[in-house]
């Protein structure tokens, strides 16, 4: 089950965290991985996959740049001859209410979290249509399903990811392309650790416990847990699933 041999998987924002976990797991299941990140950490992830016996290449790509995305996806198609899976994982965060959100903050989040998903999906769909099949998985958030305090701009972008997922799913359901999204609650990633160090120096453990308590299960999720759900949704075992938003939330929605 969950065999990805002979499939080419492009994972954005795969230099660390959830993206790196997805790329690593997909490689273990046999996929050829294209690690995309705007930072040189893309190469770090690809090197680790190859050291473990997998097949991976790294490409630096700013998903908010139409030129960068077109160049990258054209290059992948020329080199790999196909793209079977696209995971739109790249994203950035912002903390604040609407009063605390400046226009530049909104534009910055929109550029990566919304425009980036649009640009990468559009590029991948062109290639997938030539093949007659493909899978797109978007990383939304629990914030696209319920209100989360102090996450105005972030929630706006993840709500857009949710509706883009449904639009792509219905537009291409007859053309062999499936599209779903995952909606995690808080996940313990290097981003979260860095955020705590920057904003709560000396109080990291206290604030970490606060973040953990938001989930009724009493902890944050792990990147590997999100990756396991991503594997199912991108595999042939999920061939009957499209247009869906899958929470992985430690019980937030049932609390």
Selection from 178, 161, 158 nearest residue 169 by Cα: 178
Q: What's the pLDDT at 84?
A: 98
Q: Identify the residue whose tokens are 């991503």.
A: 230
Rounded Cα–Cα distance for residues 116 and 122 (Å): 10
**Among 86, 88, 106, 82, CA closest to 96:** 106
137-189: per-residue pLDDT in tens?
A: 999 999 999 999 999 999 999 999 999 999 999 999 999 999 999 999 999 99
CA distances from 241 to 25, 166, 173, 180 (A): 20, 12, 10, 8
Residues serving a catalytic function are: 154
Q: Where are the domains of the chain?
A: 8-185+222-241, 188-220
Q: What is the pLDDT of residue 192?
A: 87
Low-confidence ranges of the chain (pLDDT < 50): none
CATH topology of domain 8-185+222-241: Rossmann fold (3.40.50)
User: What is the torsional sign of CA 181, 187, 188, 194?
Assistant: positive
Q: For strand 85-88 and strand 55-60, is the pairing parallel, antiparallel, or unpaired?
A: unpaired
H-helix or E-strand containing 47? helix 41-51
Asked if 228 contacts 25 with a C-beta cutoff of 8 angstroms, the reply is yes
Residue linked to tokens 């903050």: 105
pLDDT at residue 179, rounded to an integer = 99
Please state the length of the chain: 255
CB 93 within 8 A of CB 141: no
> Is the CB of residue 47 less than 8 Å from the CB of residue 218?
no
């Amino acid at each position: 089950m969950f065999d990805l041999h002979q499939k080419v998987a492009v994972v954005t924002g795969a230099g660390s965290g959830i993206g790196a976990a997805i790329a690593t797991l997909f490689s273990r299941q046999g996929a050829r991985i294209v690690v995309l990140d705007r930072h040189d950490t893309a190469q770090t992830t690809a090197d680790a996959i190859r050291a473990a016996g997998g097949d991976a290449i790294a490409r630096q790509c700013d998903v908010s740049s139409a030129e960068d995305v077109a160049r990258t996806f054209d290059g992948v198609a020329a080199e790999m001859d196909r793209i079977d899976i696209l995971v739109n994982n790249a994203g950035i965060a912002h903390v604040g209410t609407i009063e605390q959100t400046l226009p530049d903050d909104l534009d910055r989040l929109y550029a990566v979290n919304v425009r980036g998903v649009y640009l990468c999906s559009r590029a991948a769909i062109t290639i997938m249509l030539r093949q007659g099949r493909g899978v797109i998985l978007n990383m939304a958030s629990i914030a696209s399903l319920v209100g989360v305090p102090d996450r105005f701009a972030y929630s706006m972008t993840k709500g857009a990811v949710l509706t883009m997922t449904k639009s792509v799913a219905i537009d291409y359901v007859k053309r062999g392309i499936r599209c779903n999204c995952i909606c995690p609650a808080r996940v313990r990633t290097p981003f979260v650790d860095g955020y705590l160090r920057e904003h709560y120096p000396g109080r990291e453990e206290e604030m970490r416990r606060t973040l953990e308590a938001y989930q009724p299960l009493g902890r944050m999720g792990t990147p590997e847990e999100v990756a396991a759900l991503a594997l199912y949704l991108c595999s042939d075992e999920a061939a009957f699933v499209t247009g869906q938003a899958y929470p992985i939330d430690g019980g937030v929605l049932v609390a």
